[in-house]
A and B are shown apart, each in its own frame.
Chain A
C-alpha cells in the first residue's frame, strides 16, 4: 500500500519519443499489406494507450491492497497485546508452531540466538511490520485471511514479546508497530553478485 497522492506523473512523453513514434509511423507505412489503412502493421508505432481494461476504483483497490510497508503504510486501525495474542495463539497457531512458538512441526517463530540458528523472527526478521503483513495474508495456514486486525496485532505482540523484543504489556497498533526496532534490522545487504569471473 502506498499513497496515491499528488506528484505522480506519467512517463514523460519527450520530444524524442514523439519523434520515434512519427518515424515509426512512416516506416510502418511501408510495411502495410494490401489492406493498408484498415489494419496496422503489428510492428508499427504503439498508440499512446490501448484503452484496454477499465479504471480501478479506489474501492476496488482497497479490497485487495493488504500489504504493509516498513514505515507502517497500510496498517489498519486496531490494536492488541501479547496477553490477547496468547489466546489466539493457543487456538489457531500452537498446533503447528508449538505452544511457545518453537518446537512444532512448522517453522519456529521464537529464537534470539545471535549465531542465527534457527533463523526466526527474533534473529532474522528486519521489520516488525512484515510480521503483521505475513500473518494477515498467509496464516493460520489452513484458513488464512480470516483474522481481524485486533487478532493480528495481538499475535504480532505475542511473538515479539516471546522474542523479548517488546515488553509483555506493550500495545501494538499502527503507530507503535513500525517503531519497533528489530534485532536483525541491519543484517541485510543488497546483492553484490554481478557476473564476471569472481565467485560471490
Chain B
C-alpha cells in the first residue's frame, strides 16, 4: 500500500537525476536498495517494458526443449499443460532430414487409378473446401529411453497434438475421379528418403486429409511444410510429410517402411504383423514425474490419454502400484483420436508410493500392462507399444520412473 502511493507521487519513467538522488535518500530509495520477497511486483512497475514486437518469444525464464536424437526429437510433455502442442515443440521423426521446400514451386501429383490425373499447387490445395481437426500424432516407435531418471518426454514424447487445417483427401479423390477399383494409395514425400507408404482407400474416404496448417499457422518444416498427409489415429509414419505424389492402385506397394520397418514380430517367433496402422489407447502421467521432488499434502495427478480408435472414455489412476484404481476427471471436450487431459486429486501422506494411469477407449479397449503386451505378442515386440507405466515416489518425495513390467 505504501509502495503503491509512493508510485503515484512519482513521475514514472521520467525521473530526473536530481529526483532520483533525492529519492535515494527517501522512502522510495530505501525500498529499492533493500528488496524483499514480493518486491518484483513493484520493481517491474518502475520502468516501461519492451514495446510491441513483430513476433513474440517465450519468457527468458521459460525454456521448454525437445530432446533431439539422430532420427527424432521428443515433445517435452512435462512442460505442457493443455492438449495442443506448440508447433515448435511438436515431435519430429524423419528418415532423410527436413527438406527446404519453396511453396511457390510446390506441387502434388495424384495419378494411377483415376479418371483425371492432376497436379495441384499449394494455392490450388488451399482453394478447396477446408476443414480443421484436432487430433494427436504418435510415432509407432514411441518407446522409452532411459532408466529411473527419465522425463515423461523420454518415456513417450514421440506424440503431440495439433489443430490441423487442410482439405479432405476424399474431396481431392472425387476431383480426380478415383476409380472404384482402387483399394490402396501410395503416399510419397519429397524428402531425401522419398518416404512412401501404402494406405487403404477406406481411410481416404473416412477422415484422411492433406493439411497445410498447424495450429492455424503454416506447417513447421519438420512437420511437412508446405503440405502433408494426415491420417488421424494412424501411426505417425503413415502421415507422409512433404507430400509430392499420390498414386491409386488395386494392391499395396510393399514399400520398405511397411515391410522391413513398422512391422511387429509376433509370439510364434516367425510371423510379422503388417499394416498395423491404428495406435491403441495409451496414457502417461506428466505430473508429478521425474525430476520433481514433492512434499506431503495434496497433489493433482495430471496427464494425457489418447486412442487412435476414437474417444477415451475413462482414465483410472492408481496411487498404490496397481492394487486399487480410481476414475480420474477428463477435461472436456473429449475429442475422438485426440489427447485428452486427465486429473486426479491425491493426498500424499509421505510413505513410498507408486502412481499409474490406465486409459480405456470407446471400443472397450483397456491400456494393457507390459506383461499383457508381451503375452499377446511375444518378447520381441518392437513397435506399437502402449504399456501402463508408473512413477515411484520415495520417502524423500523424489519421483522416479517406475517400471513397465507391472504385474497384470
Q: Establish whether residues A12 and B272, one from each chain, have CB atoms under 8 Å apart when the complex forms.
A: no
A187-B272, A188-B274, A193-B276 are contacts. A11–B255 as well, Cβ < 8 Å? no
Interface: B84 (CB within 8 A): no
A89 within 8 A of B: no
A60 and B109: CB pair below 8 A? yes
B229 at the interface (CB under 8 A from A): no
Query: A194 vs B113: C-alpha distance in the bound complex, in angstroms?
Result: 29
In the complex with contacts A9-B179, A56-B118, A116-B193 CB distance below 8 A: no
Contact B254 A197 (CB under 8 A): no
Partner of A65, one of B111, B118, B174, B193: B111
**A7 B181 Cβ-Cβ under 8 A:** yes
How far apart are the CA atoms of A194 and B115 in the complex, in Å?
A: 33
Whether B376 and A64, one on each chain, are in contact in the complex, defined by CB atoms closer than 8 angstroms, is no
CB distance from A23 to the nearest CB of B (A): 18
A52–B118 alpha-carbon span in the complex (Å): 9
Contact of B178 with A11 in the complex, beta carbons under 8 Å: yes
Does A64 lie within 8 Å of B259, measured CB to CB? no
Alpha-carbon separation in the docked complex, A69 to B112 (Å) = 13
* A9, B119: Cβ atoms closer than 8 Å: no
Complex Cα gap A77–B390 (Å): 56
Given A11-B177, A189-B271, are A53 and B121 also a contact pair (CB < 8 Å)? Answer: yes
Q: How far is the CA of A191 from the CA of B271 in the complex (A)?
A: 11
Known A-B contacts A189-B271, A189-B273, A191-B277; the reply to A1 vs B247 at CB < 8 A is: yes
Q: Tell me the bound Cα distance from A130 to B253 in angstroms.
A: 9
User: A158 within 8 Å of B by Cβ?
Assistant: no
Binary contact readout A102-121 vs B (1 if CB under 8 angstroms, 0 otherwise): 00000000000001100101
Within the complex, what minimum Cβ distance (angstroms) separates A135 from chain B?
Answer: 9
Interface: A190 (CB within 8 A) = yes
- Any B CB within 8 A of the CB of A145: yes
Cβ–Cβ contact B372 & A67, under 8 A: no
Task: Say yes or no for A127: interface residue by CB 8 A criterion.
Answer: yes
Of B22-30, B143-151, B359-367, the one contacting chain A is: B359-367
Q: Is B265's CB under 8 angstroms from A116's CB?
A: yes
- Of the listed stretches B1-9, B123-131, B297-305, B329-337, name the one at the interface; the rest are far from the partner chain: B123-131
Separation of A17 and B327 alpha carbons in the complex (Å): 46
Contacting pair A195 B363 (CB below 8 A): yes
Residues A193 and B129 in contact, CB atoms below 8 Å apart: no
Contact A144/B96 with A11-B178, A46-B129, A70-B254 known, Cβ cut-off 8 Å: yes
Q: Mark B180-203, 1 if CB is under 8 A from A, else 0.
A: 110000101000111010000000
Q: Is the CB of A133 within 8 A of B255?
A: yes
**Residues of A contacting B377 with CB < 8 Å?**
200
How many residues of B are counted as interface, with CB atoms below 8 angstroms from the partner's CB atoms?
75
**Interface SS, A side:** loop
Give chain B residues whose Cβ lies under 8 Å from the Cβ of A55: 116-119
Could you tell me if B364 and A64 are in contact, using CB atoms closer than 8 angstroms?
A: no
User: Which residues of chain A come closer than 8 Å to B288, judged between CB atoms?
Assistant: none
Is the pair B174, A124 in contact by a Cβ cutoff of 8 Å?
no
- Given the interface pairs A53-B120, A119-B260, A188-B263, the reply to whether A65 lies near B115 with Cβ below 8 Å is no
Known: A54-B119, A199-B376. Contact between A188 and B259, CB under 8 A? yes
Give every chain B residue within 8 A of A188 (Cβ-Cβ): 259, 263, 271-274
Report if B110 contacts A (CB, 8 A): yes
Q: Does B63 contact A (CB under 8 A)?
A: no
Asked if residues A64 and B109 are in contact (CB atoms below 8 Å), the reply is yes
Q: Are B247 and A2 in contact (CB-based, < 8 A)?
A: yes
A19 within 8 A of B: no
Residue of A nearest to B368 (CB): A199
**Given A61-B111, A138-B193, A145-B194, do A67 and B120 touch, yes or no (CB 8 Å)?**
no
In the assembled complex, the CB of A127 is this many whole angstroms from the nearest CB of chain B, namely: 5
- Residues of B near A124 (CB, < 8 A) are 259-260, 272
A2 contacts B309, C-beta separation under 8 Å: no
Do A130 and B254 form a contact, CB below 8 Å, given A10-B177, A137-B196? yes
In the complex, are the beta carbons of A65 and B245 less than 8 A apart? yes
Verify if B401 is at the interface (C-beta below 8 Å from A).
no
B269 at the interface (CB under 8 A from A): yes
Tell whether, in the assembled complex, residue B259 and residue A125 are in contact, meaning their CB atoms are under 8 Å apart. yes
Q: How far is the CB of A4 from chain B (nearest CB, A)?
A: 7
Which chain A residues border B272 with CB–CB below 8 Å?
A: 124, 184, 187-189
Task: Check if B275 is an interface residue, CB within 8 A of chain A.
Answer: yes
Known: A11-B179, A196-B364. 17 other contacts (CB 8 A): A2-B250, A46-B171, A50-B128, A53-B119, A55-B116, A56-B111, A56-B119, A67-B255, A124-B259, A130-B260, A138-B194, A141-B96, A187-B272, A189-B273, A191-B273, A193-B278, A193-B280
- What would be 14 A-B contacts, judged by CB atoms less than 8 Å apart? A8-B113, A9-B115, A46-B174, A49-B116, A64-B244, A64-B245, A65-B111, A70-B254, A124-B260, A137-B196, A187-B272, A191-B277, A192-B273, A199-B373
Complex A-B, nearest 6 residue pairs according to Cβ-Cβ distance, in ascending order: A195-B363, A10-B177, A56-B117, A137-B194, A191-B276, A134-B256
What is B's interface to A at a CB cutoff of 8 Å? 95-96, 109-121, 124, 127-129, 171, 173-175, 177-181, 186, 188, 192-194, 196, 244-245, 247-251, 253-256, 259-260, 263, 265-266, 269-278, 280, 309-310, 361, 363-366, 368, 372-373, 375-377, 380
Interface residues of A (CB under 8 A from B): 1-2, 4, 7-12, 42, 46, 49-50, 52-56, 60-61, 64-67, 69-70, 115-116, 119, 121, 124-127, 129-130, 133-134, 137-138, 141, 144-145, 184, 187-197, 199-200
